């Protein structure tokens, strides 16, 4: 990895230096991060710096005049008034967000970059709140800028090394790796190391460079007593929380946030009640400001998109299941490993939001046993179709045909959708594909999309999908035979 690391970073920095769009970004970050640091400069110097950017001036005036910030219907027409109403923290955050947006948007991967900017804005807001309440000796403005810069390395990599990031994503799917593991294996270096290298290359302030240092996994044992230590530890904690909220499955949020609080509670004087309140406040305020900025992505869209990009297969098969106990025919993989692998391939190929494999129980019931994607663990545990009342899934199961449902809210389908599905899953579109062996239904592939789709994805009964379906059929037949033999 040490041999690869300079190669990756040098290649990235060279591309950045050759890009006109990034020629001034480092300087902009320096200027914005130092706004207000010189007390003698006063409001006039800050206003002058803002007025040099017409787009920023217009955006800040719009935000200050929004219904959320309006003061008695008064029209805000000067930057002095903007600073008085919004405060320097918001002004600096909006300026940095716009600088990143302007530089990162003109690429096919712009949707992902927009989501990353949303995550960065939240991270900065949380760092500001923690510092305002628990680190009053330090600058909440500086903490906010440090938080905003935490995923700089990730954003630059996505922008300039997109083919490498796509290879990393494919490796993640194929081997069921965590995202950071796949990135290090592909690039030879972490996103955090890349961010630090960029900050150093741009000559950003020492406090910013220090705050972006890679997370070692454990906080220092003593309370942060100086500015450098506070900003570094506060940024590290906020980066962890942002990763949890924007990249991990929703079912893991509370427990993982609790773990992060336990690690940093002494250093940053944290308690769970306050942190959860700050998180909720920052999510709401981030969403409100994004709407005022007419930003192309909101918080929920960013969280959904980034979770999907980071997800791993979630196995819900119990240790007693025959598929877990028995080995595959070639001895290289157990059936459950093969099922999970194929599910990941299908999930990635069709860009589903959630992909499950379901098994029939008797002649009229259907249960999910394994899943990949958003909230897959929770959905798999409760995807149970049985009882006297008919539902759409068992109707499809009885027909043994590939089925595409364009929108579950259409009247013909809505009356057959179980209540638990609307509450827990909430997908608008789904497909169900039967796995038939010797004329018998062995299982069903379920894949869904959160938003309604007018047409089914292509190639559901041919090419790679046909091969994957045949592999699943063979695996399920093998498992069924083993069960039958053990019972006989």
- Backbone dihedral region for residue 318 (phi beyond 0: left; psi -120 to 50: alpha; all else: beta): beta
Q: Look at residue 245 in the predicted model and tell me its pLDDT.
A: 95
Contacts of 390 (CB under 8 A, 6+ apart): 416
Q: Look at residue 242 in the predicted model and tell me its pLDDT.
A: 97
CATH architecture of the domain 4-310 equals Orthogonal Bundle (1.10)
| CB burial of residue 482 (10 Å; 0-12, 13-18, 19+) | middle
Contacts of 448 (CB under 8 A, 6+ apart): 352, 353, 354, 355, 425, 427, 429, 430, 431
The Cα 421–Cα 227 span in angstroms is 50
What is the fold of 313-487?
Beta-Lactamase (3.30.450)
Sequential DSSP letters for 189-232: S-HHHHHHHHHHHHT--HHHHHHTSPP-SS--SSPP-SHHHHHH
- 């013909």: which residue's tokens? 412
From 150, 246, 230, 233, select the one nearest 190 (Cα to Cα).
Answer: 150
4-310 and 313-487 have identical folds: no
Number of H helices, E strands in the chain: 23, 7
- 């997109």: which residue's tokens? 162
For the chain, give every domain's residue range.
4-310, 313-487
The Cα 155–Cα 409 span in angstroms is 37
10-residue mean pLDDT series, the chain (488 residues): 64 83 60 57 60 66 72 66 78 74 69 89 93 91 85 88 88 76 92 91 85 72 81 95 90 88 92 96 91 85 85 45 42 71 88 92 88 83 88 94 96 93 92 94 94 93 92 82 43
Q: Look at residue 355 in the predicted model and tell me its pLDDT.
A: 93
Q: Are 206 and 200 in contact (CB under 8 A)?
A: no
pTM of the model: 0.68
């Amino acid at each position: 990895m040490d041999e690869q690391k300079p190669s990756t970073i040098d290649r990235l920095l060279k591309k950045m230096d050759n890009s006109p769009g990034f020629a001034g970004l480092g300087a902009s970050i320096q200027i914005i991060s130092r706004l207000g640091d010189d007390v003698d400069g006063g409001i006039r110097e800050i206003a002058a710096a803002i007025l040099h950017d017409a787009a920023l001036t217009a955006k800040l005036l719009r935000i200050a005049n929004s219904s959320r910030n309006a003061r008695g219907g008064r029209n805000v027409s000067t930057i002095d008034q903007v600073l008085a109403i919004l405060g320097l923290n918001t002004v600096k955050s909006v300026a940095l967000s716009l600088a990143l947006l302007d530089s990162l948007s003109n690429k096919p991967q712009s949707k992902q970059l927009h989501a990353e900017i949303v995550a960065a804005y939240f991270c900065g807001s949380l760092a500001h709140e923690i510092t305002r309440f628990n680190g009053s000796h330090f600058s909440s403005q500086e903490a906010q800028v440090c938080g905003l810069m935490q995923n700089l390395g990730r954003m630059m990599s996505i922008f300039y090394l997109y083919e490498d990031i796509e290879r990393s994503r494919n490796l993640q799917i194929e081997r069921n790796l965590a995202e950071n593991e796949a990135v290090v294996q592909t690039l030879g270096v972490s996103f955090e190391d890349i961010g630090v290298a960029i900050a150093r290359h741009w000559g950003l302030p020492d406090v910013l460079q220090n705050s972006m240092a890679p997370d070692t996994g454990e906080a220092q044992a003593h309370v942060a007593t100086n500015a450098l230590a506070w900003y570094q530890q506060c940024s590290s904690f906020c980066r962890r929380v942002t990763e949890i909220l924007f990249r991990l499955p929703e079912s893991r949020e509370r427990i993982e946030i609790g773990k992060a609080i336990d690690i940093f509670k002494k250093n940053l004087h944290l308690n769970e009640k306050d942190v959860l309140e700050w998180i909720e406040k920052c999510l709401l305020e981030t969403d409100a400001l994004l709407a005022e900025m007419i930003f192309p992505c909101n918080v929920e869209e960013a969280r959904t998109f980034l979770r999907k990009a980071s997800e791993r297969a979630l196995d819900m098969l119990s240790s007693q299941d025959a598929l877990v106990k028995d080995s595959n025919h070639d001895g290289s993989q157990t059936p459950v490993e093969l099922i999970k692998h194929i599910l990941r391939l299908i999930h990635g190929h069709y860009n589903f939001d959630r992909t499950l494999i379901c098994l029939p129980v008797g002649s009229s019931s259907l249960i999910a046993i394994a899943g990949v994607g958003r909230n897959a663990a929770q959905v798999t545990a409760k995807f149970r179709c049985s009882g006297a009342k008919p539902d759409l899934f068992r109707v499809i199961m009885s027909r043994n045909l590939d089925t595409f449902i364009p929108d579950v809210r259409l009247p013909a389908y809505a009356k057959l959708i179980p209540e638990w599905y609307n509450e827990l899953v909430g997908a608008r579109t789904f497909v169900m594909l039967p796995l038939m062996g010797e004329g018998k239904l062995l299982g069903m592939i379920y894949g869904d999309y959160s938003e309604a789709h007018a047409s089914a994805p292509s190639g559901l009964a041919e090419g790679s999908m046909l091969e994957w379906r045949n592999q699943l059929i063979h695996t399920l037949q093998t498992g069924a035979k083993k069960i039958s033999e053990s019972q006989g």
